[in-house]
Structure 1
Amino acid sequence: MKFRFALLVAALALALSISAFSYSEEPAQDTAAPAQEETTTDDSAPFVLLRVYEGQFADVKDGDWFAPSVVSAYEYGLLNGRGEDSFAPSGNVTIAELLTIAARLRAIYTTGSDAVIPAAKENEAWYAPYVSYLKSQNLLDNSFEGFYLLPASRAQMAGIFAFAVPEEWYTEPNASLVTSAYSSRDYIADVTDKTPYRSEILLMYRRGLLSGMDAKGSFYPDRSVSRAEIAALLTRVVEPETRLTLTWTVAPYHSVKNATLASLVKAPTSTSLPTSAKDTAAIDGLVRNMLARGEHTITLNYSKALTTATASALTQAFTSCVKTYCEQMYNAVSCRSYSTGKVVLTFSSTACTAKTLESYRAKALAAAIKVHDSLWESGTLSYDMSQYEIARTYFQWLCDHCRYDNAAADDSASHLAYGALVSGLAVCDGYTGAYNLLLKLEGIECTSLFNDSHIWTLATLDGTQYHIDVTWGDQYGRTDLRYFGMSEEQSYQCHPWGTADKKK
């Protein structure tokens, strides 16, 4: 699309008197843009230079990394100073300010001017017209209601700006590299499936609008965004020639040879004493904390001794919880309750002694690492595959390399991931434990769900949760993919579970 703009200077000067950066209900009075003729080098570009920077910001020095971007954003009329001689490059930016800039970008790109956005009415928040405009363009919902004046995070910045200007304005020079680098988990590693605006963040890397804050492209999604960072981003938005070409070096595959079972569990930020056996959140936090530390005991300290019934209920609750981490191979819990209120829970396996279990755990992990690395080395797995495709590959591999142990007793190693990965024999908890171990080595979020007689996997693949039953998928020499990627409804038809069984 070609654009030709002849913006009226007077109208623009009026628009620029509205600050894009304010922390109060009323916008700060920044220095208005000087009346001048337009300066542009490309009459087909949607954004044009409107004024000349004359060194008025005392806190923007030659040599500052952000100096060229501040000058550019100022000359395009997209950012003003805070006062007559200050830019405040390290200052925070509110959500309202980001939305204001995004609305102006959209309006200028699509109509040639931001004059289509009216001034705020009396008793109306200064940013309200910009919010309304973005909503009219289907670029904003109500998720920021009540939070407009809070400092914006870098993740929110990406969410707001990713589609402010139509995608036709961009190319994606880094698309292939970002896909492989992100999949390797060596780059942009702090952006996960749970990161708000994950897709928008990665899109901005692909477009060359972002490169991260260190050599590994770390994004720091929760960190507040600064005015200097916004200036840099705006320059790359309006000037395609300033966009970044990433030069990351991605290894052919990401080896997990240094992984530990403890490293596969995300420790909670804090733990609390369970108020009862129904306090599943506290119980899960304690179990994760134990596993992430590589330990196998949990000590609780209550104000008084527990009754036998309460201690028994707690023991059962902790047993049910640890089974959802079946790749760790603990499936039994013993409890010692003292008159002082102290409770010691010891986690073990019904298949073997504690010493043997540690050996089994080490051997199962080593086998899983070997499977992972060999599939990557052979090209069976590659960075251009989705999580769904990777999970299906492991599903097929396990069905091909393990068989159901019809003779397994309650004390058999076939109940452990060790059985599936080392001996090639397993029952459902062995299959599921091995499968979850392989998925977690890939960084795929998963857990398990069980009823009285069976256990299977719940995995989040590319943002969608699926039920996966690798045990039933192994049909004696053939793989039944009907049991891969089931919806909750499909899974329930195969193996119902009670609400108490369902992993929250």
Structure 2
Amino acid sequence: MKKRLLLFLCIFTLLLSTAAQAEDVTADVPAPAPSAEKADTLSPFARTRSYDGRFTDVDASAWYHDAVAALYEYGLTEGVSSSAYAPEGSVTIAELVTFAARLHALERGAAIPAAAAGEAWYQPYVRYLKAEKCLGDELDGHYPEAATRAQMAGVLASALSAECYDERNAEAVTVGYASHRRITDVDDYTPYQSDILRLYKWGIVGGVDEDGSFHPNDTLKRSELAALVVRMVEPSARLTLSWQSLSYRSAAGTTWGDLIAAPAEVSAAPAADDANAIDALIRKMLHDGADSITLQYNRTLTNEEVAKLTRAFTVGVKRHCEQMYNSTSCRSYSSGKVLLTFSSTACDSAQLKKYREETLARAILVHDALWESGYLTGDMTQYELARAYYVWLCNNCVYDEGTVSSSSLSHLAYSALVDGVAVCDGYTGAYDLLLRLEGIECTALMNADHIWTVAELDGKTYHIDTTWGDQGTRVDMSFFGMTEAQSRAKHAW
């Protein structure tokens, strides 16, 4: 019989290191009077004049003094007047776009024409960036509004060519973000996610706290923009992050809702064949910590339509089998209202609540123990983390060889993690839960009689079957990291 490691039963001393973090200061822009600015005619990255202390609202002892002075010397700003910079002023999207256009033009030695009569002062800059394919239409109609940090990333990340940067923080950002221990307030639903991560990798931003949080919805000050732009044009001013030195952070305090990113929007009346809309509703429910969804249609649904919805939502919730729901009841009203309630065939609602609490607590214990033991390390990629968890689960769970009814706890992640025995949905649920604690996006895929994991690891999609990987006397690695073609050769779906 296989040796069972049971690492989560060991007692460890927590080794939570706190790597020093560079404070993130981000953005600022030139004054909105293009006639007063001369940046468009200057050579890129050349200081063409000396700062003479003209901005009386920029104290020589202020943290942003040198950055503002540099902007003036590069010819990127004349201030809001001849004697004021307004360092505490908010940055508008128009100003942000203007600054990006000037940077882009400086690198290329281009000139941007002045605004035409009756045209908004920022329109030439908008037109220039769009012509250079550095700006889309998504900000049209919003230029006078205060810019958010996410919008800052989306606009400025394309201002200079990638050749102007080195990816000094690529490893730190990849490991920290993939393990869900850094930049945790940026996810797949955050606007300009990829641009935000590029700024981290280039050393332009480093986060506002020790966890590298970005605060994507916060607005910007002109003082902040000054510091960011200096980092863009001066490699010596860029940040080098030391996140890789922080190899472990406890998952204690994680909730079920934390494991699921809330969608930006959901439909109140999805079609039964709209898998994406149904998944979004399920994700919102799970993120909110609920167990029911209310829909509203403009008519009474037929019995057949209700049955199709019930089947579709049952399939949908099983894709998140780590949450331990596998059954759906549906109640339809003459008003068009539909109430879907999710449960488990293995236990009643009160028991399920208890099992969910115990399962998440055990998963957190496993997570922390594996990190504390050195089984998992900060330099691992997502693929390597997933492989390590695959081996661990196969060595710490056995397949329930008995006749398993739908009421058996072996169908739940609880049984796999707490009792060490499970069938396929228990294995898959436990594995997906451990992956989600690492911030790895995953879901379950099923056919008529089997279920397994599909995970996004380092930007690639892999199929992983912990159940079949644990059928012999040794862990079968052929069921880890399968391509879709390899998976289809083993699973029909």
| TM-score bucket of the superposed structures, by smaller chain | 0.7 to 0.9
Please report how far the alpha carbon of residue 278 of structure 1 lies from its aligned counterpart in structure 2 after TM superposition.
Answer: 2.8
Q: Residues 155 and 473 (structure 1 numbering): CA distance in 2 closer, same or farther, change over 3 Å?
A: farther
Q: Residues 356 and 195 (structure 1 numbering): CA distance in 2 closer, same or farther, change over 3 Å?
A: closer
Once residues 311 and 266 of structure 2 are traced to their aligned partners in structure 1, the CA distance between those partners, rounded to angstroms, is: 19
Give 1:465's aligned residue: 461
Give 1:79's aligned residue: 77
Give 2:48's aligned residue: 50
Structure number with greater Rg is 1
Q: Residues 171 and 438 (structure 1 numbering): CA distance in 2 closer, same or farther, change over 3 Å?
A: closer
Task: Kindly provide the CA deviation profile for residues 326-355 of structure 1, in whole angstroms up to 9, marking residues without a partner as x.
Answer: 011111112233445444332221222323
CA contact (8 A) 1:106 1:165 kept: no
Once residues 98 and 261 of structure 1 are traced to their aligned partners in structure 2, the CA distance between those partners, rounded to angstroms, is: 42
Task: Kindly provide the CA deviation profile for residues 61-80 of structure 1, in whole angstroms up to 9, marking residues without a partner as x.
Answer: 55554332111111122334
Classify the secondary structure of the residue corresponding to 2:427: helix
Pairing 1:58-69 to 2, within 5 Å after superposition? 60-69=58-67
> 2:376 aligned with 1:378, yes or no?
no
Give 2:443's aligned residue: 447
Pairing 1:137-148 to 2, within 5 Å after superposition? 142=133, 144-146=135-137
Pairing 1:302-381 to 2, within 5 Å after superposition? 302=297, 305-381=300-376
Please report how far the alpha carbon of residue 207 of structure 1 lies from its aligned counterpart in structure 2 after TM superposition.
Answer: 5.3
Classify the secondary structure of the residue corresponding to 1:160: coil
Please report how far the alpha carbon of residue 118 of structure 1 lies from its aligned counterpart in structure 2 after TM superposition.
Answer: 6.1
The structure whose RCO (Cα within 8 Å, separation 6+) is larger is 2
CA contact (8 A) 1:178 1:206 kept: yes
Please report how far the alpha carbon of residue 391 of structure 1 lies from its aligned counterpart in structure 2 after TM superposition.
Answer: 0.8
Give 2:157's aligned residue: 159
> 2:13 aligned with 1:30, yes or no?
no
Give 2:483's aligned residue: 487
Per mean C-alpha deviation after superposition, the further-off stretch among 419-428 and 286-295 is: 286-295
Task: Kindly provide the CA deviation profile for residues 181-222 of structure 1, in whole angstroms up to 9, marking residues without a partner as x.
Answer: 556644422234665665664564455432323454322346
Once residues 143 and 467 of structure 1 are traced to their aligned partners in structure 2, the CA distance between those partners, rounded to angstroms, is: 36
Once residues 312 and 478 of structure 1 are traced to their aligned partners in structure 2, the CA distance between those partners, rounded to angstroms, is: 43
> 2:285 aligned with 1:294, yes or no?
no
Q: TM-score, normalised by structure 2?
A: 0.76
> 2:393 aligned with 1:398, yes or no?
yes
CA contact (8 A) 1:368 1:438 kept: yes
Q: Residues 192 and 105 (structure 1 numbering): CA distance in 2 closer, same or farther, change over 3 Å?
A: farther
Once residues 361 and 51 of structure 2 are traced to their aligned partners in structure 1, the CA distance between those partners, rounded to angstroms, is: 61
Give 1:233's aligned residue: 228
Classify the secondary structure of the residue corresponding to 1:290: helix
Task: Kindly provide the CA deviation profile for residues 364-390 of structure 1, in whole angstroms up to 9, marking residues without a partner as x.
Answer: 222212221111011111111111111
Once residues 289 and 405 of structure 2 are traced to their aligned partners in structure 1, the CA distance between those partners, rounded to angstroms, is: 28
Q: Residues 485 and 53 (structure 1 numbering): CA distance in 2 closer, same or farther, change over 3 Å?
A: same
% of aligned pairs identical?
A: 46
Amino acid at match of 1:438: L
Give 2:427's aligned residue: 431
Give 2:406's aligned residue: 410
Q: Residues 338 and 188 (structure 1 numbering): CA distance in 2 closer, same or farther, change over 3 Å?
A: closer
Q: Residues 246 and 390 (structure 1 numbering): CA distance in 2 closer, same or farther, change over 3 Å?
A: closer
Amino acid at match of 2:34: A
CA contact (8 A) 2:270 2:278 kept: no
Residues paired across the two proteins, number: 448
> 2:114 aligned with 1:97, yes or no?
no
Amino acid at match of 2:75: G
Please report how far the alpha carbon of residue 129 of structure 1 lies from its aligned counterpart in structure 2 after TM superposition.
Answer: 10
| RMSD after superposition | 3.9
Task: Kindly provide the CA deviation profile for residues 228-287 of structure 1, in whole angstroms up to 9, marking residues without a partner as x.
Answer: 433212323444554446687975511112222233223345544225423444433332
Amino acid at match of 1:450: M
Q: Residues 483 and 50 (structure 1 numbering): CA distance in 2 closer, same or farther, change over 3 Å?
A: same
Once residues 444 and 388 of structure 1 are traced to their aligned partners in structure 2, the CA distance between those partners, rounded to angstroms, is: 10
Once residues 74 and 476 of structure 1 are traced to their aligned partners in structure 2, the CA distance between those partners, rounded to angstroms, is: 70
Give 1:189's aligned residue: 184
Give 2:11's aligned residue: none
Classify the secondary structure of the residue corresponding to 2:254: coil
Per mean C-alpha deviation after superposition, the further-off stretch among 469-478 and 202-211 is: 202-211
Please report how far the alpha carbon of residue 452 of structure 1 lies from its aligned counterpart in structure 2 after TM superposition.
Answer: 1.8
- For residue 474 of structure 1, the aligned residue among 463, 470, 476 is 470
CA contact (8 A) 2:262 2:283 kept: yes
Amino acid at match of 2:359: A
Give 2:382's aligned residue: 387
Q: Residues 382 and 101 (structure 1 numbering): CA distance in 2 closer, same or farther, change over 3 Å?
A: farther
Give structure 1 stretches of 5+ with no counterpart. 1-19, 39-45, 108-113, 136-141, 498-504
Amino acid at match of 1:28: P
Once residues 183 and 472 of structure 1 are traced to their aligned partners in structure 2, the CA distance between those partners, rounded to angstroms, is: 26
CA contact (8 A) 1:391 1:439 kept: yes
Amino acid at match of 1:482: S
Once residues 348 and 38 of structure 2 are traced to their aligned partners in structure 1, the CA distance between those partners, rounded to angstroms, is: 77
Amino acid at match of 1:440: R
Q: Residues 298 and 93 (structure 1 numbering): CA distance in 2 closer, same or farther, change over 3 Å?
A: closer
Once residues 317 and 105 of structure 1 are traced to their aligned partners in structure 2, the CA distance between those partners, rounded to angstroms, is: 55
Give structure 2 stretches of 5+ with no counterpart. 1-28, 117-122
